[in-house]
Amino acid sequence: MDKLIIQGGHVLQGEVRISGAKNAALPILAGSLLATAPVKITNMPHLRDITTMMELTGGMGVRFVLDDQMGVEVYAEDIQRFEAPYDLVKTMRASILVLGPLLTRFGSARVSFPGGCAIGARPVDLHLKGMEKLGAKITIDNGYIHAKAPNGLRGADISFDTVTVTGTENLIMAATLAKGVTTLHHAAREPEVVDLANYLNTLGAKISGAGTDTIVITGVKELGGGQYSVMPDRIEAGTFLAAAAITRGKIKLKQVAPTTMLQIIHKLTEAGAEIQMDDNTISLDMKGKRPKAIRLSTAPYPGFPTDMQAQMIALNTVADGVGHVVETVFENRFLHVQEMQRMGAQIVLEGNTAIVTGKERLTGAPVMATDLRASASLVLAGLVAEGETVIERIYHIDRGYEVIEEKLSQLGAKIYRDHS
Protein backbone atom coordinates (compact mmCIF):
# COMPACT_ATOMS: atom_id res chain seq x y z
CA MET A 1 0.00 0.00 0.00
CA ASP A 2 1.47 3.35 -1.02
CA LYS A 3 2.19 5.89 1.68
CA LEU A 4 3.06 9.59 1.57
CA ILE A 5 6.03 10.64 3.71
CA ILE A 6 6.24 14.34 4.56
CA GLN A 7 8.99 16.26 6.38
CA GLY A 8 7.17 19.32 7.79
CA GLY A 9 8.35 22.89 8.23
CA HIS A 10 9.01 23.95 4.62
CA VAL A 11 7.39 27.11 3.24
CA LEU A 12 5.57 26.62 -0.10
CA GLN A 13 6.54 29.07 -2.82
CA GLY A 14 6.07 29.04 -6.58
CA GLU A 15 3.58 28.37 -9.35
CA VAL A 16 1.34 25.38 -10.05
CA ARG A 17 -1.02 24.46 -12.91
CA ILE A 18 -4.46 23.35 -11.76
CA SER A 19 -6.00 20.29 -13.48
CA GLY A 20 -9.47 19.87 -14.96
CA ALA A 21 -12.25 19.40 -12.39
CA LYS A 22 -12.88 15.79 -11.34
CA ASN A 23 -16.50 16.57 -10.43
CA ALA A 24 -17.15 18.10 -13.86
CA ALA A 25 -15.23 15.46 -15.86
CA LEU A 26 -17.16 12.57 -14.25
CA PRO A 27 -20.69 13.71 -15.27
CA ILE A 28 -19.31 14.84 -18.66
CA LEU A 29 -17.87 11.35 -19.30
CA ALA A 30 -21.15 9.75 -18.19
CA GLY A 31 -23.04 12.18 -20.46
CA SER A 32 -20.91 11.01 -23.39
CA LEU A 33 -23.12 7.91 -23.43
CA LEU A 34 -25.67 10.21 -25.12
CA ALA A 35 -23.39 11.18 -28.04
CA THR A 36 -24.24 9.57 -31.40
CA ALA A 37 -21.12 11.09 -33.00
CA PRO A 38 -17.49 11.44 -31.82
CA VAL A 39 -16.71 13.84 -28.96
CA LYS A 40 -13.35 15.46 -28.12
CA ILE A 41 -12.91 16.38 -24.43
CA THR A 42 -9.81 18.35 -23.36
CA ASN A 43 -8.34 19.37 -19.94
CA MET A 44 -9.33 15.92 -18.62
CA PRO A 45 -7.60 15.27 -15.24
CA HIS A 46 -5.53 12.08 -14.93
CA LEU A 47 -7.23 10.62 -11.85
CA ARG A 48 -8.21 7.16 -10.64
CA ASP A 49 -11.90 8.12 -10.65
CA ILE A 50 -11.65 9.23 -14.31
CA THR A 51 -10.04 5.91 -15.25
CA THR A 52 -12.83 4.11 -13.36
CA MET A 53 -15.53 6.04 -15.27
CA MET A 54 -13.78 5.19 -18.57
CA GLU A 55 -13.60 1.51 -17.54
CA LEU A 56 -17.29 1.59 -16.57
CA THR A 57 -18.54 3.19 -19.81
CA GLY A 58 -15.95 1.24 -21.82
CA GLY A 59 -17.60 -1.94 -20.56
CA MET A 60 -20.84 -0.72 -22.16
CA GLY A 61 -19.21 -0.23 -25.55
CA VAL A 62 -17.78 3.29 -25.43
CA ARG A 63 -14.36 3.57 -27.11
CA PHE A 64 -11.72 6.10 -26.00
CA VAL A 65 -8.65 7.47 -27.77
CA LEU A 66 -6.37 9.26 -25.30
CA ASP A 67 -3.85 11.85 -26.51
CA ASP A 68 -0.78 12.98 -24.55
CA GLN A 69 -2.28 16.42 -23.76
CA MET A 70 -4.98 15.35 -21.26
CA GLY A 71 -7.41 15.05 -24.17
CA VAL A 72 -9.72 12.16 -24.97
CA GLU A 73 -11.80 11.27 -28.01
CA VAL A 74 -15.01 9.42 -27.11
CA TYR A 75 -16.90 7.15 -29.52
CA ALA A 76 -20.32 6.15 -28.08
CA GLU A 77 -22.28 5.40 -31.23
CA ASP A 78 -22.30 1.65 -30.57
CA ILE A 79 -23.39 0.82 -27.00
CA GLN A 80 -24.36 -2.82 -26.42
CA ARG A 81 -24.54 -3.20 -22.63
CA PHE A 82 -26.49 -1.05 -20.16
CA GLU A 83 -25.04 -2.27 -16.86
CA ALA A 84 -22.84 -0.69 -14.15
CA PRO A 85 -21.43 -3.69 -12.23
CA TYR A 86 -20.95 -3.85 -8.45
CA ASP A 87 -17.16 -4.26 -8.60
CA LEU A 88 -16.80 -0.84 -10.26
CA VAL A 89 -19.67 1.00 -8.52
CA LYS A 90 -18.32 0.00 -5.08
CA THR A 91 -15.08 1.90 -5.88
CA MET A 92 -16.81 5.04 -7.15
CA ARG A 93 -20.26 6.26 -6.14
CA ALA A 94 -20.37 8.68 -9.06
CA SER A 95 -21.05 5.59 -11.25
CA ILE A 96 -24.73 6.34 -10.54
CA LEU A 97 -24.36 9.09 -13.17
CA VAL A 98 -24.70 6.53 -16.00
CA LEU A 99 -28.32 5.87 -14.97
CA GLY A 100 -29.84 8.96 -16.61
CA PRO A 101 -28.02 8.70 -19.96
CA LEU A 102 -28.64 4.92 -20.36
CA LEU A 103 -32.31 5.25 -19.43
CA THR A 104 -33.12 8.14 -21.73
CA ARG A 105 -31.17 6.90 -24.78
CA PHE A 106 -31.76 3.12 -24.54
CA GLY A 107 -34.79 2.81 -22.23
CA SER A 108 -32.93 0.43 -19.93
CA ALA A 109 -30.27 0.55 -17.20
CA ARG A 110 -29.01 -1.85 -14.51
CA VAL A 111 -26.83 -0.04 -11.98
CA SER A 112 -25.42 -1.54 -8.80
CA PHE A 113 -26.86 0.23 -5.79
CA PRO A 114 -24.06 2.46 -4.38
CA GLY A 115 -23.26 1.32 -0.85
CA GLY A 116 -22.51 3.58 2.07
CA CYS A 117 -19.48 5.78 2.22
CA ALA A 118 -17.15 6.99 4.97
CA ILE A 119 -18.64 10.49 5.04
CA GLY A 120 -22.31 9.54 5.19
CA ALA A 121 -25.18 7.34 4.04
CA ARG A 122 -25.35 9.26 0.75
CA PRO A 123 -28.62 7.71 -0.51
CA VAL A 124 -29.72 8.09 -4.14
CA ASP A 125 -33.47 8.22 -3.41
CA LEU A 126 -33.81 11.65 -5.05
CA HIS A 127 -32.19 10.36 -8.26
CA LEU A 128 -34.68 7.45 -8.42
CA LYS A 129 -37.75 9.52 -7.51
CA GLY A 130 -36.85 11.95 -10.29
CA MET A 131 -36.47 9.15 -12.85
CA GLU A 132 -39.89 7.78 -11.86
CA LYS A 133 -41.40 11.26 -12.32
CA LEU A 134 -40.04 11.11 -15.91
CA GLY A 135 -41.92 7.81 -16.38
CA ALA A 136 -39.23 5.22 -15.57
CA LYS A 137 -40.21 1.93 -13.88
CA ILE A 138 -37.65 1.26 -11.14
CA THR A 139 -37.17 -1.91 -9.12
CA ILE A 140 -34.33 -2.85 -6.79
CA ASP A 141 -33.20 -6.43 -6.32
CA ASN A 142 -29.96 -8.33 -5.75
CA GLY A 143 -28.34 -5.00 -4.91
CA TYR A 144 -29.07 -3.58 -8.35
CA ILE A 145 -31.27 -0.73 -9.56
CA HIS A 146 -33.28 -1.92 -12.60
CA ALA A 147 -34.68 1.01 -14.54
CA LYS A 148 -36.93 0.64 -17.59
CA ALA A 149 -38.53 3.16 -19.91
CA PRO A 150 -39.57 1.09 -22.98
CA ASN A 151 -41.55 3.98 -24.48
CA GLY A 152 -38.91 6.57 -23.58
CA LEU A 153 -39.13 9.23 -20.85
CA ARG A 154 -41.63 12.10 -20.67
CA GLY A 155 -40.79 15.62 -19.45
CA ALA A 156 -42.03 16.50 -15.93
CA ASP A 157 -41.81 19.04 -13.11
CA ILE A 158 -39.37 17.74 -10.47
CA SER A 159 -38.58 19.36 -7.13
CA PHE A 160 -35.66 18.08 -5.02
CA ASP A 161 -36.27 17.79 -1.23
CA THR A 162 -32.52 18.34 -0.70
CA VAL A 163 -30.01 20.03 -2.99
CA THR A 164 -28.16 17.18 -4.69
CA VAL A 165 -25.31 17.76 -7.13
CA THR A 166 -25.22 14.38 -8.92
CA GLY A 167 -29.00 14.09 -8.52
CA THR A 168 -29.39 17.33 -10.49
CA GLU A 169 -26.83 16.13 -13.05
CA ASN A 170 -28.48 12.71 -13.47
CA LEU A 171 -31.92 14.26 -14.05
CA ILE A 172 -30.55 16.88 -16.49
CA MET A 173 -29.07 14.04 -18.57
CA ALA A 174 -32.24 11.93 -18.36
CA ALA A 175 -34.35 14.90 -19.49
CA THR A 176 -32.24 15.74 -22.58
CA LEU A 177 -34.01 13.08 -24.72
CA ALA A 178 -37.34 12.94 -22.83
CA LYS A 179 -40.48 13.91 -24.79
CA GLY A 180 -41.45 17.46 -23.82
CA VAL A 181 -40.13 19.88 -21.21
CA THR A 182 -38.63 19.06 -17.78
CA THR A 183 -38.21 21.68 -15.05
CA LEU A 184 -35.92 20.94 -12.07
CA HIS A 185 -36.77 23.01 -8.97
CA HIS A 186 -34.41 23.41 -5.96
CA ALA A 187 -31.63 22.23 -8.30
CA ALA A 188 -27.91 22.31 -7.41
CA ARG A 189 -26.15 25.47 -8.59
CA GLU A 190 -22.57 24.12 -8.51
CA PRO A 191 -20.22 25.26 -11.34
CA GLU A 192 -19.78 21.58 -12.27
CA VAL A 193 -23.54 21.40 -13.02
CA VAL A 194 -23.11 24.41 -15.32
CA ASP A 195 -20.11 22.75 -17.01
CA LEU A 196 -22.16 19.61 -17.70
CA ALA A 197 -25.07 21.65 -19.09
CA ASN A 198 -22.72 23.63 -21.36
CA TYR A 199 -21.18 20.36 -22.58
CA LEU A 200 -24.58 18.76 -23.31
CA ASN A 201 -25.75 21.93 -25.12
CA THR A 202 -22.61 21.63 -27.29
CA LEU A 203 -23.86 18.17 -28.28
CA GLY A 204 -27.27 19.63 -29.22
CA ALA A 205 -29.22 19.51 -25.93
CA LYS A 206 -31.61 22.35 -24.99
CA ILE A 207 -30.83 23.25 -21.35
CA SER A 208 -31.36 26.66 -19.74
CA GLY A 209 -31.01 27.98 -16.18
CA ALA A 210 -27.99 25.88 -15.13
CA GLY A 211 -26.30 27.71 -12.23
CA THR A 212 -29.67 28.78 -10.84
CA ASP A 213 -32.02 26.66 -8.71
CA THR A 214 -34.47 26.24 -11.61
CA ILE A 215 -33.22 24.37 -14.69
CA VAL A 216 -35.38 23.84 -17.80
CA ILE A 217 -34.60 21.04 -20.27
CA THR A 218 -36.49 20.72 -23.57
CA GLY A 219 -36.17 17.16 -24.88
CA VAL A 220 -34.59 16.63 -28.33
CA LYS A 221 -34.50 13.56 -30.58
CA GLU A 222 -30.82 12.75 -30.18
CA LEU A 223 -27.47 14.35 -29.29
CA GLY A 224 -24.60 14.52 -31.79
CA GLY A 225 -20.87 15.05 -31.20
CA GLY A 226 -18.66 18.04 -30.51
CA GLN A 227 -15.63 19.37 -28.64
CA TYR A 228 -15.44 20.60 -25.01
CA SER A 229 -12.83 21.62 -22.43
CA VAL A 230 -13.43 20.65 -18.78
CA MET A 231 -13.51 23.55 -16.27
CA PRO A 232 -10.61 23.93 -13.78
CA ASP A 233 -10.88 22.08 -10.47
CA ARG A 234 -11.91 24.65 -7.84
CA ILE A 235 -11.33 22.19 -4.97
CA GLU A 236 -7.81 21.26 -6.08
CA ALA A 237 -7.16 25.00 -6.46
CA GLY A 238 -8.54 25.73 -2.98
CA THR A 239 -6.45 22.90 -1.53
CA PHE A 240 -3.23 24.38 -2.95
CA LEU A 241 -4.15 27.87 -1.72
CA ALA A 242 -4.71 26.40 1.77
CA ALA A 243 -1.35 24.56 1.53
CA ALA A 244 0.43 27.86 0.85
CA ALA A 245 -1.53 29.60 3.63
CA ILE A 246 -0.79 26.93 6.27
CA THR A 247 2.97 27.08 5.51
CA ARG A 248 2.90 30.92 5.48
CA GLY A 249 4.09 30.85 1.87
CA LYS A 250 3.40 32.46 -1.50
CA ILE A 251 1.78 30.72 -4.48
CA LYS A 252 0.45 31.44 -7.95
CA LEU A 253 -2.17 29.10 -9.46
CA LYS A 254 -2.51 28.96 -13.25
CA GLN A 255 -5.47 27.75 -15.34
CA VAL A 256 -8.02 28.36 -12.59
CA ALA A 257 -11.50 29.96 -12.64
CA PRO A 258 -11.52 32.41 -9.68
CA THR A 259 -15.23 33.26 -10.14
CA THR A 260 -16.13 29.65 -9.19
CA MET A 261 -14.33 29.85 -5.84
CA LEU A 262 -15.19 33.27 -4.36
CA GLN A 263 -16.25 31.83 -0.96
CA ILE A 264 -12.93 29.98 -0.65
CA ILE A 265 -11.02 33.17 -1.54
CA HIS A 266 -13.16 35.18 0.93
CA LYS A 267 -12.38 32.80 3.82
CA LEU A 268 -8.63 32.66 3.06
CA THR A 269 -8.59 36.48 2.97
CA GLU A 270 -10.25 36.44 6.40
CA ALA A 271 -7.41 34.14 7.54
CA GLY A 272 -4.99 36.94 6.62
CA ALA A 273 -3.93 35.95 3.09
CA GLU A 274 -3.31 38.67 0.49
CA ILE A 275 -4.98 37.45 -2.72
CA GLN A 276 -4.82 38.83 -6.25
CA MET A 277 -6.67 37.32 -9.21
CA ASP A 278 -7.34 37.79 -12.91
CA ASP A 279 -9.58 35.69 -15.16
CA ASN A 280 -7.43 32.54 -15.02
CA THR A 281 -4.84 32.94 -12.24
CA ILE A 282 -4.93 33.40 -8.43
CA SER A 283 -1.93 34.59 -6.37
CA LEU A 284 -1.84 34.19 -2.59
CA ASP A 285 0.80 35.67 -0.26
CA MET A 286 0.82 35.17 3.53
CA LYS A 287 3.80 37.61 3.90
CA GLY A 288 5.23 35.02 6.32
CA LYS A 289 2.41 35.66 8.78
CA ARG A 290 0.63 33.02 10.91
CA PRO A 291 -2.95 32.51 9.66
CA LYS A 292 -5.82 33.87 11.72
CA ALA A 293 -8.55 31.45 12.94
CA ILE A 294 -11.73 31.55 10.84
CA ARG A 295 -15.36 30.56 11.30
CA LEU A 296 -17.29 28.94 8.44
CA SER A 297 -20.32 26.80 7.72
CA THR A 298 -20.46 24.55 4.66
CA ALA A 299 -23.45 24.82 2.32
CA PRO A 300 -24.47 24.00 -1.25
CA TYR A 301 -23.05 26.43 -3.86
CA PRO A 302 -22.66 29.41 -3.72
CA GLY A 303 -22.01 28.67 -0.03
CA PHE A 304 -18.67 27.42 1.28
CA PRO A 305 -17.98 24.00 -0.31
CA THR A 306 -18.06 20.93 1.96
CA ASP A 307 -15.14 19.54 -0.11
CA MET A 308 -12.92 22.27 1.38
CA GLN A 309 -14.07 21.78 5.01
CA ALA A 310 -11.28 19.39 6.06
CA GLN A 311 -8.60 21.64 4.52
CA MET A 312 -9.87 24.65 6.49
CA ILE A 313 -9.89 22.67 9.74
CA ALA A 314 -6.22 21.87 9.05
CA LEU A 315 -5.54 25.60 8.60
CA ASN A 316 -7.33 26.38 11.87
CA THR A 317 -5.20 23.85 13.81
CA VAL A 318 -2.15 26.16 13.55
CA ALA A 319 -4.01 29.50 13.29
CA ASP A 320 -4.02 32.33 15.84
CA GLY A 321 -7.28 32.03 17.81
CA VAL A 322 -10.25 29.65 18.00
CA GLY A 323 -11.95 28.62 14.75
CA HIS A 324 -15.45 27.15 14.32
CA VAL A 325 -16.20 24.92 11.33
CA VAL A 326 -19.78 23.69 10.81
CA GLU A 327 -20.51 20.81 8.40
CA THR A 328 -24.12 20.97 7.19
CA VAL A 329 -24.01 18.78 4.03
CA PHE A 330 -22.78 15.35 5.19
CA GLU A 331 -23.50 13.73 8.55
CA ASN A 332 -20.10 12.17 9.17
CA ARG A 333 -17.44 14.31 7.53
CA PHE A 334 -15.08 14.82 10.49
CA LEU A 335 -13.08 11.57 10.19
CA HIS A 336 -9.89 13.64 9.66
CA VAL A 337 -10.29 15.22 13.14
CA GLN A 338 -9.08 12.25 15.18
CA GLU A 339 -6.13 11.85 12.80
CA MET A 340 -5.15 15.51 13.32
CA GLN A 341 -5.54 15.07 17.08
CA ARG A 342 -2.79 12.41 16.81
CA MET A 343 -0.63 15.27 15.49
CA GLY A 344 -1.39 17.39 18.54
CA ALA A 345 -4.29 19.40 17.10
CA GLN A 346 -6.70 20.80 19.69
CA ILE A 347 -10.18 20.11 18.26
CA VAL A 348 -13.47 19.51 20.09
CA LEU A 349 -16.45 18.14 18.15
CA GLU A 350 -19.89 19.32 19.24
CA GLY A 351 -22.48 17.78 16.90
CA ASN A 352 -21.74 19.09 13.41
CA THR A 353 -19.36 21.76 14.67
CA ALA A 354 -15.58 21.44 15.06
CA ILE A 355 -14.13 23.95 17.56
CA VAL A 356 -10.43 24.30 16.77
CA THR A 357 -8.00 26.03 19.15
CA GLY A 358 -4.98 26.99 17.07
CA LYS A 359 -1.48 25.98 18.23
CA GLU A 360 1.93 27.25 17.14
CA ARG A 361 3.02 23.76 16.12
CA LEU A 362 1.74 20.29 15.26
CA THR A 363 3.97 17.22 15.54
CA GLY A 364 4.40 14.71 12.73
CA ALA A 365 2.83 11.26 13.25
CA PRO A 366 1.68 8.19 11.32
CA VAL A 367 -1.95 8.91 10.25
CA MET A 368 -4.56 7.26 8.05
CA ALA A 369 -6.54 8.74 5.17
CA THR A 370 -10.25 7.91 5.29
CA ASP A 371 -11.75 9.78 2.35
CA LEU A 372 -10.55 11.95 -0.49
CA ARG A 373 -10.64 15.41 1.06
CA ALA A 374 -9.74 14.21 4.57
CA SER A 375 -6.51 12.79 3.12
CA ALA A 376 -5.72 16.15 1.51
CA SER A 377 -6.17 17.85 4.90
CA LEU A 378 -3.69 15.42 6.48
CA VAL A 379 -1.15 16.37 3.79
CA LEU A 380 -1.66 20.05 4.71
CA ALA A 381 -1.19 19.27 8.42
CA GLY A 382 1.94 17.22 7.59
CA LEU A 383 3.42 20.13 5.60
CA VAL A 384 3.42 22.31 8.72
CA ALA A 385 4.01 19.69 11.46
CA GLU A 386 7.38 19.30 13.14
CA GLY A 387 9.16 16.15 11.98
CA GLU A 388 7.87 13.32 9.80
CA THR A 389 4.25 12.51 8.96
CA VAL A 390 3.38 9.20 7.26
CA ILE A 391 -0.03 9.07 5.59
CA GLU A 392 -1.36 5.58 4.89
CA ARG A 393 -4.17 4.48 2.52
CA ILE A 394 -3.40 7.30 0.12
CA TYR A 395 -5.34 5.57 -2.68
CA HIS A 396 -8.08 7.93 -1.46
CA ILE A 397 -6.00 10.95 -2.41
CA ASP A 398 -5.17 9.59 -5.89
CA ARG A 399 -8.88 9.59 -6.68
CA GLY A 400 -9.04 13.37 -6.66
CA TYR A 401 -5.57 14.90 -6.89
CA GLU A 402 -3.31 14.54 -9.91
CA VAL A 403 0.25 13.59 -8.73
CA ILE A 404 -0.16 15.72 -5.58
CA GLU A 405 3.32 14.93 -4.27
CA GLU A 406 4.98 16.11 -7.53
CA LYS A 407 3.04 19.36 -7.58
CA LEU A 408 3.78 20.01 -3.88
CA SER A 409 7.49 19.13 -4.31
CA GLN A 410 7.72 21.71 -7.12
CA LEU A 411 6.52 24.23 -4.54
CA GLY A 412 9.26 23.31 -2.04
CA ALA A 413 7.50 20.67 0.08
CA LYS A 414 9.58 17.73 1.28
CA ILE A 415 7.18 14.94 0.35
CA TYR A 416 7.56 11.60 -1.41
CA ARG A 417 5.55 8.47 -2.13
CA ASP A 418 6.72 5.22 -0.53
CA HIS A 419 5.71 2.35 -2.80
CA SER A 420 6.79 -0.43 -0.41
343 near ligand EPZ, judged by CB under 6 A: no
Instruction: From 159-167, 243-251, 315-323, 357-365, give the range in contact with ligand EPZ by CB under 6 A.
Output: 159-167
DSSP string spanning 139-183?
EEETTEEEEE-TT--B--EEE-SS--HHHHHHHHHHHTTSBSEEE
- Give 351's contacts (C-beta < 8 A, 6+ positions apart): none
102 near ligand EPZ, judged by CB under 6 A: no
In the complex, least distance from residue 213 CB atom to ligand EPZ, rounded to whole angstroms: 13
* Spatial CA neighbour of 136 closest among 104, 176, 165, 114: 104
Q: Please report, to the nearest 10 degrees, the dihedral formed by the alpha carbons of residues 122, 127, 129, 131 taken in order.
A: -160
Separation CA 291–CA 318 (nearest Å) = 7
Please indicate whether residue 20 is annotated as part of the active site: no
Cβ distance to ligand EPZ smaller for residue 23 or 104: 23
DSSP string spanning 46-96?
--HHHHHHHHHHHTTT-EEEE-TTS-EEEE-S-----EE-HHHHTT-GGGG
Cβ distance to ligand EPZ smaller for residue 130 or 272: 130
23 near ligand EPZ, judged by CB under 6 A: yes
Q: Which of 18, 56, 70, 94 binds ligand EPZ (CB under 6 A)?
A: 94
Instruction: Please name every residue paired with 368 in a beta bridge, in sequence order, or none if there are none.
Output: 392
Cβ distance to ligand EPZ smaller for residue 25 or 381: 25
Q: Which residues ranging from 282 to 301 are in contact with ligand EPZ (CB under 6 A)?
A: none
The helix/strand/coil state of 346 is: strand
Task: Provide the phi-psi class of 29: left if phi over 0, else alpha when psi is between -120 and 50, else beta.
Answer: alpha
Cβ distance to ligand EPZ smaller for residue 238 or 272: 238
304 near ligand EPZ, judged by CB under 6 A: no
Cβ distance to ligand EPZ smaller for residue 307 or 402: 307
* Spatial CA neighbour of 203 closest among 218, 217, 224: 224
329 near ligand EPZ, judged by CB under 6 A: yes
Q: Which of 59, 123, 303, 344 binds ligand EPZ (CB under 6 A)?
A: 123
In the complex, least distance from residue 144 CB atom to ligand EPZ, rounded to whole angstroms: 17
In the complex, least distance from residue 372 CB atom to ligand EPZ, rounded to whole angstroms: 4
Q: Which of 162, 208, 269, 280 binds ligand EPZ (CB under 6 A)?
A: 162
Supply angle C-alpha 62, 63, 67, rounded to 5. Answer: 135
Cβ distance to ligand EPZ smaller for residue 283 or 309: 309
Q: Which residues ranging from 163 to 182 are in contact with ligand EPZ (CB under 6 A)?
A: 164-167
32 near ligand EPZ, judged by CB under 6 A: no
Say which of 65, 66, 117, 121 is annotated catalytic.
Answer: 117
In the complex, least distance from residue 371 CB atom to ligand EPZ, rounded to whole angstroms: 7
- β pairing state of 206-208 and 157-159: unpaired
In the complex, least distance from residue 210 CB atom to ligand EPZ, rounded to whole angstroms: 14
Instruction: Please name every residue paired with 416 in a beta bridge, in sequence order, or none if there are none.
Output: 5
Contact 160, 185 (CB under 8 A): yes
As separate numbers, helices (DSSP H) first and strands (DSSP E) second, the chain gives 14, 24
330 near ligand EPZ, judged by CB under 6 A: yes
Run of H or E residues at 374: helix 372-384
Separation CA 325–CA 339 (nearest Å) = 17
In the complex, least distance from residue 381 CB atom to ligand EPZ, rounded to whole angstroms: 18
Q: x/- binding map, residues 380-409, to ligand EPZ, per CB under 6 A?
A: --------------------x---------
Enzyme catalytic residues? 117
Give the interface with ligand EPZ as residue ranges (CB under 6 A).
22-23, 26, 94, 120-127, 162, 164-167, 306-307, 329-330, 372-373, 400
